[in-house]
């Protein structure tokens, strides 16, 4: 596992090219390698379809003379055996082409051009359904290791939002600004990672880049930005840096689920994406815990220095050990190697051809226009965006309200206040411990026997929708100093349980309903909920001071009750609503 792991990582790919393809070689680079050509890839509109006999006989593959000395030798009498064409599930690049619809490319003429080039090219695919280079065929140990890396990456970036919050009071005092102005450092970070996916996530779908390159380059920028942030001498310098850091760190938050889907079959994705969600929740939940002790012991700048150490350690580790998982990127690299080895310029991957024909307008439609179109014309998308955005906003208002409840009412210091957030963390861990067996016992069999429909994602949202108002009323009316501090902490655990289950149900349901437009749907959801989540902390302190914690939480709980019917309506009428849509499957 280790050589291939490092070879396909960022540093391995860089050294491969820098060394003139001598280090971290692939099978195609080694002497005596024979190139299997799937039957479909031999078809060409120039030469006609390959006959059955052609598929089984040897073909001589020649190389340019100027590369004779450094390329693996392919003897002229060596046979090239055709292998059975890979299944649709094993060939995401080709499946992607089948999903192209009107509006994805600039008009029918452009579509015809793409199909013509595909027909005239020798399409490079996996060397059969058991190709070990296909991430779907990696060992369970390798998939689990890469899953751990994605969780590490997500946590090291996501913690950057809330780790800042314990230092808000000191920042306001040091820079001579109001606490609301100082809170903008949290708000703009969230705004940054809400806007970032609209621009950065599409890069991971371009075969020439792939996911790992985007992750490493943007994470490196994120790490570098922490230095001037910690050294900022005024709010005017601090706030833009916080926005840029959130923007640069956003690919991990928006594309991590896609990386996991690259490796795991559909019946396992609920479990692994659920685990990744725990890492995502742990970031903003544990941020105040870490930041509280840092701000109390040193100063607010130490919250940023700790963020630098965490993200820097993740960058160093992932640069060496996070392999590329995108099928389009891996097949593009394979096609480039085969072109170099054989001199056959017709050898291309399907994703490569599609990317070459995409214009800036196509990308803008996918990332900047379509997310809003879907949000306004699709009731399913609109309602779930509103619901999840509300929960996200309450999560961030919770982060700010803990100071009112535990510092002002219970007399906690900053470090102890951070420990109060462990209730949220424990709630998400325990919920995953219940959710994972449910996904294995209930959802997995439905995938395997072919009876799965998107609405099967929603029963867990029934529980979540009830947990939210219960936790809000419970937290609000037990937050006074006369009630032991453990009681509202237990209430917060129910809130994180409801939040976790709602995110699992809602985001997976949207993915199942709109598989062809999942990038646009999730980008729009991420943008919408981030804007709401960014706004809530700005008025949180005044909200709780003016209304009182009990009435304020009751108001939020009342809103949660109004939203409660959404999962039930979607479960009952979702299939009927989808039947009206030209976007949903």
What pLDDT is attached to residue 94?
A: 42
pLDDT digits (tens, 9 = 90+) for 541-579: 888 889 888 999 999 999 999 999 999 999 999 999 988
Residue predicted with more confidence, 132 or 520: 132
Average pLDDT of the segment spanning 37-61:
37
pLDDT of residue 364: 72
Task: For residue range 209-239, list pLDDT tens digits in order.
Answer: 899 999 999 999 999 999 999 999 999 999 9
Whether 369 shows a pLDDT value over 70: the answer reads yes
Cβ pair 189, 243 in contact under 8 A: yes
Please tell me the distance from the alpha carbon of residue 360 to that of residue 221, in angstroms, as a whole number: 24
Give me 309's structure tokens: 């150490």
Residue 74: which pLDDT band, with cuts at 50, 70 and 90?
very low
At 470-526, the pLDDT tens digits run 999 999 999 888 899 999 999 999 999 999 999 889 888 988 898 888 777 888 888
pLDDT by residue (tens digit) across 292-333?
888 888 889 999 999 999 999 999 999 999 999 999 999 999
Burial of residue 422 (CB within 10 Å: 0-12, 13-18, 19+) is: middle
Proportion of the chain above pLDDT 90, given as a percent:
37
Three-point CA angle 156, 415, 290, nearest 5°: 10
pLDDT at residue number 66: 42
User: Per-residue pLDDT for 284 more than 90?
Assistant: no
Give the model's pLDDT for residue 87. 40
- Selection from 253-257, 446-450, 473-477 with the highest mean pLDDT: 473-477
Question: Is the per-residue pLDDT at 73 higher than 80?
Answer: no
For 430-445, what is the mean pLDDT? 89
> Which two structure tokens, joined as six digits, stand for 305?
């220095």
User: Comparing 64-78, 364-378, 489-503, which segment has the lowest mean pLDDT?
Assistant: 64-78
Is residue 78 very low, low, confident or very high in pLDDT (cuts 50, 70, 90)?
very low
Q: What mean pLDDT is predicted for residues 242-268? A: 89
d(CA 426, CA 493): 7
Query: Across residues 526-552, what is the average pLDDT?
Result: 87
Sequential DSSP letters for 368-407: IIHHHHHHHH-HHHHHHHHHHHHHHHHHHHHHHHHIIIII
pLDDT level of residue 48 (50, 70, 90 thresholds): very low
Where in the chain is CATH 1.20.1250.20? 140-325, 359-585
The whole-chain average pLDDT of the chain stands at 82
Mean pLDDT of 462-466: 93
What pLDDT shows up at residue 109? Answer: 54
The domain 359-585 is placed in CATH, from the list 1.20.1250.20, 3.40.190.10, 3.40.1190.10, 3.30.1330.10, at 1.20.1250.20
| Domain spanning 140-325: CATH 1.20.1250.20 | yes
Please state the φ and ψ torsions of residue 223, each to the nearest 5 degrees.
-65, -45
- 558 vs 198: CA distance, rounded Å: 33
Residue 116: the pLDDT is 55
Residue 357 has pLDDT above 80, yes or no: no
Q: Specify the pLDDT at position 252.
A: 84
Supply 12's token pair.
């391995």
What confidence score (pLDDT) does residue 146 get?
95
In this prediction, residues 408-425 reach a mean pLDDT of 88
| For range 45-65, the mean pLDDT | 35
Q: Report the alpha-carbon distance of residue 354 to residue 93 in Å, rounded.
A: 10
Average pLDDT score over residue span 419-436: 90
The Cβ of residue 20 has, within 10 Å, a number of other Cβ atoms equal to: 8
CA distance 109 to 87: 29
**Model confidence at 69: pLDDT above 90:** no
- Residue 111 confidence class, pLDDT cut points 50, 70, 90: low
Q: Give the pLDDT of residue 291.
A: 87
Which range scores top for mean pLDDT: 52-61, 146-155, 408-417?
Answer: 146-155
pLDDT at residue 106, rounded to an integer: 47
Instruction: Let me know: does 381 contact 577? Beta carbons within 8 Å.
Output: no
Of 61 and 117, the structure prediction assigns the larger pLDDT to 117
Of residues 367, 532, 554, the one with CA closest to residue 473: 554
Q: Tell whether the model's pLDDT for residue 128 goes beyond 50.
A: yes
């Amino acid at each position: 596992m280790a050589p291939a792991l490092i070879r396909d990582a960022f540093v391995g790919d860089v050294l491969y090219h820098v060394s003139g393809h001598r280090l971290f070689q692939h099978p195609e680079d080694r002497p005596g390698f024979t190139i299997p050509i799937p039957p479909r890839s031999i078809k060409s509109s120039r030469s006609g379809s390959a006959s059955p006999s052609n598929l089984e006989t040897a073909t001589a593959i020649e190389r340019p003379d100027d590369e004779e000395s450094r390329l693996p030798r392919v003897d002229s009498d060596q046979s090239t055996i055709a292998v059975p064409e890979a299944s649709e599930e094993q060939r995401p690049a080709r499946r992607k082409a089948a999903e192209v619809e009107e509006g994805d490319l600039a008009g029918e003429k452009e579509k015809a051009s793409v199909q013509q080039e595909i027909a005239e090219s020798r399409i490079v695919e996996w060397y059969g359904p058991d190709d070990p280079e296909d991430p779907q065929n990696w060992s369970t140990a390798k998939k689990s290791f890469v899953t751990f890396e994605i969780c590490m990456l997500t946590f090291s970036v996501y913690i950057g939002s809330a780790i800042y919050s314990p230092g808000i009071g000191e920042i306001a005092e040091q820079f001579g600004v109001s606490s609301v102005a100082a809170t903008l450092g949290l708000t703009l970070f969230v705004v940054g990672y809400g806007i970032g996916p609209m621009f950065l996530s599409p890069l991971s779908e371009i075969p020439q880049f792939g996911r790992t390159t985007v992750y490493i380059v943007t994470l490196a920028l994120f790490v570098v930005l922490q230095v001037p942030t910690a050294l900022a001498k005024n709010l005017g310098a601090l706030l833009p840096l916080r926005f840029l850091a959130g923007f640069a760190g956003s690919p991990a938050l928006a594309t991590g689920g896609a990386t996991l889907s690259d490796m795991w079959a559909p019946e396992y994705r609920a479990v692994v994406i659920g685990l990744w969600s725990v890492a995502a929740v742990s970031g903003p939940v544990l941020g105040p815990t870490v930041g509280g002790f840092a701000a109390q012991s040193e100063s607010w700048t130490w919250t940023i220095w700790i963020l630098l150490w965490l993200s820097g350690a993740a960058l160093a580790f992932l640069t060496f050990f996070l392999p590329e998982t995108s099928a389009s990127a891996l097949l593009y690299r394979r096609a480039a190697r085969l072109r170099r080895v054989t001199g056959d310029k017709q050898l291309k991957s399907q994703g490569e051809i599609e990317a070459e024909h995409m214009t800036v307008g196509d990308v803008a439609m996918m990332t900047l226009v379509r997310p809003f179109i879907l949000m306004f014309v699709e009731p399913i998308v609109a309602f779930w965006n509103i619901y999840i955005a509300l929960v996200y906003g309450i999560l961030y208002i919770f982060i700010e309200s803990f100071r009112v409840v535990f510092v002002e009412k219970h007399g906690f210091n900053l470090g102890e206040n951070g420990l109060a957030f462990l209730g949220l963390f424990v709630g998400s861990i325990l919920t995953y411990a219940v959710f994972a067996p449910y996904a294995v016992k209930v959802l997995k069999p439905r995938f395997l026997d072919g009876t799965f429909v998107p609405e099967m994602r929603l029963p867990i949202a029934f529980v979540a929708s009830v947990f939210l108002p219960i936790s809000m009323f419970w937290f609000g009316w037990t937050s006074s100093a006369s009630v032991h501090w453990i009681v509202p902490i237990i209430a917060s655990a129910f809130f994180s349980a409801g939040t976790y289950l709602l995110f699992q149900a809602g985001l997976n349901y949207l993915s199942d309903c709109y598989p062809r437009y999942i990038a646009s749907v999730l980008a729009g959801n991420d943008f919408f909920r981030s804007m709401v989540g960014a706004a809530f902390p700005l008025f949180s302190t005044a909200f709780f001071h003016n209304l009182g914690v009990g009435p304020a939480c009751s108001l939020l709980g009342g809103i949660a009750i109004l939203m409660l019917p959404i999962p039930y309506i979607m479960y009952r009428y979702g299939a009927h609503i989808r039947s009206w849509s030209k976007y949903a499957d």
